[in-house]
Amino acid sequence: MSPREKRSARDVALDALMQVDKANAWSDEALRRLIAQNGLDSRDAAFATRLCYGVMQNRMLLDYYIGCWCAQKPERLEPVIRSILRIGGYQILFMDRVPHRAAVNEAVEMTRRHGRPKAAGMVNAVLRRFVEHWMDMPDLPKGSTADYLSLQYSHPKWLVLRLLDLIGPDETQEFLRLDNDAVPTCIQVNPLKTTAEDLERELRGDGVTVEPHPWLEGCLEITGTGDLRSLPAFREGRFLVQDAAARLAAMAASAAPGDRVLDVCAAPGGKSFSMAMDMGDRGQILSCDVHPYKVKLIESGAQRLGLTCIRAAAADAREKHAAWEGQADVVMADVPCSGLGIIRKKPDIRYKNPKELAQLPLVQRAILENASGYVRPGGTLVYSTCTVLPEENEDVTGDFLDKHPEFEPVRTAFPLPVGPCPGQVTLWPQRHGTDGFYICRMRRKD
């Protein structure tokens, strides 16, 4: 295909998947860039997103079925052909509104457009087998519970085994299933600019499906947005995109008007923004990130939301800054983590190399140790992650509290279904309807 030709939604999805394969790109970032470059309207953008995410969410299962009817093993296929087969197979198995004939024909045409005419017959033959058997696909190979769940829900076996150990087979299956489901976008109303009622009315007028969050005040759940950033309410800062779990982390900080707050791993700024709203934009928040380009994201987000109490700075959360010692009423440490609690929103995370995750607790411990020095006597320290693994969560905070008797866990009264927690809580999609998340609230004794 010539680079000057306008891509269809299917071609954009294919381009994004190829960037994930070849350049180790994040699918959401690749999609956002390609949708903008190709000028897709909201309908085509939503279709491209569904295709790309759907393939990422079901990649292992799709490859198994492709292998049932293709002479070559999927891993031996040319990457572009493998991705075209995945896109076609996903439409046939998971998208009721796409006619099977269209899914097959478009895949064949994509194969030709991408300069592989000799492969068109094979693509046609394999996808026609999908169509013939879409109601009675081949049985998955018999094996252990972990083997079955791994293939059925396209999660790596190591992660399935870990979840089985933590929460048992029933909850593991539900966790994995929810990772592959579409979820509404949770937003927090900016009370400095609007009310929940007015924002709900405005978004409905723009064709967005809106419901109040079932248990979190000041938040809404939205679907049917297309490119969310094109909405006037977003551009003009009347809401913040924030999962309920992240909102609870900001609530745990209990930041009050006039407080001095330090957010040591702040980018892209969501928890800083949420705390600033709780403070009525009165006080001081220093939002830090180690990457200068991410500091600009914080600054632009604060400007969009009309928050003036936030100052952003580049800083490594592991490095000591003497001027900050004992100065903060609240320190937020939302540390780098494996991200295994947000697979439902970033499906690529499931394919991370687990060896790369092994070093994370060392980084997390170093950040928590350093950040604790910035808390004033009587002040609050919040440690949070978007993962569900104990080695990144309660193991880290438990060791910290053992070594630092000057800190104590603080009971927090979260709304139901989370409810009161004695200082720490792990949130689960299948239990709470949130991202997988961990929050620990601690207080430095006077």
In the DSSP assignment, the letter for residue 188 is E
For residue 345, the number of C-alpha atoms closer than 13 Å in the C-beta half-sphere is 16
Amino acid identity at 300? S
Measured CA to CA, the distance from residue 255 to residue 156 in angstroms comes to 39
The three-class DSSP label of residue 181 is: coil
- Does the annotation flag 270 for ligand binding? yes
Give the list of residues 6+ apart from residue 239 with CB closer than 8 angstroms, or none. 187, 188, 189, 190, 194, 199, 220, 233
Give the list of residues 6+ apart from residue 44 with CB closer than 8 angstroms, or none. 8, 9, 12
Measured CA to CA, the distance from residue 303 to residue 296 in angstroms comes to 11
The three-class DSSP label of residue 232 is: helix
- Does the annotation flag 268 for ligand binding? yes
Radius of gyration of the chain (CA): 23
Asked if 348 and 339 count as a contact pair (C-beta separation under 8 A), the reply is no
The three-class DSSP label of residue 144 is: coil
The kind and range of the H/E element at 87 are helix 79-94
Nearest to 333 by CA among 361, 360, 367, 310: 367
- Does the annotation flag 266 for ligand binding? yes
Measured CA to CA, the distance from residue 139 to residue 349 in angstroms comes to 27
Give the list of residues 6+ apart from residue 4 with CB closer than 8 angstroms, or none. none
Nearest to 38 by CA among 65, 7, 63: 7
Nearest to 176 by CA among 187, 166, 158, 163: 163
Two tokens, residue 160: 């399935």
Concerning whether 386 is annotated as a catalytic residue, the answer is: yes
Instruction: Give strand pairing partners of 220.
Output: 187, 212
Measured CA to CA, the distance from residue 49 to residue 87 in angstroms comes to 12
Choice among 70, 288, 309, 386 that is catalytic: 386
Two tokens, residue 220: 């809404």
Measured CA to CA, the distance from residue 39 to residue 81 in angstroms comes to 25
- Does the annotation flag 224 for ligand binding? no
- Does the annotation flag 269 for ligand binding? yes
Nearest to 185 by CA among 232, 236, 231, 219: 219
The catalytic residue positions are 386
In the annotated binding site for S-adenosyl-L-methionine, the residues are 265-271, 289, 316, 334
In the annotated binding site, the residues are 265-271, 289, 316, 334
